[in-house]
Amino acid sequence: MSNDKLDALIERIASEHGIVLSQDDPVLMMHTLNEVLLE
């Protein structure tokens, strides 16, 4: 997953849930893993 996509996802989570994630957050790892599995 590109940094641009991760940044967009982090921004979306922050705006919808008020929680700011970092690039190395395990939640983002799960999102990336799900994307790979769907491909």
Q: Which pTM was predicted?
A: 0.75
* pLDDT score for 2: 83
Domain count, the chain: 1
* pLDDT score for 13: 95
Nearest alpha carbon to residue 23 among 37, 36, 39, 32: 32
At 1-39, the pLDDT tens digits run 688 989 999 999 999 999 999 989 999 999 989 999 999
Q: Which domain holds residue 7?
A: 3-38
* pLDDT score for 26: 93
**C-alpha to C-alpha distance for 17 and 34, rounded to whole angstroms:** 20
**What would the two tokens of residue 25 be?**
């957050």
* pLDDT score for 21: 94
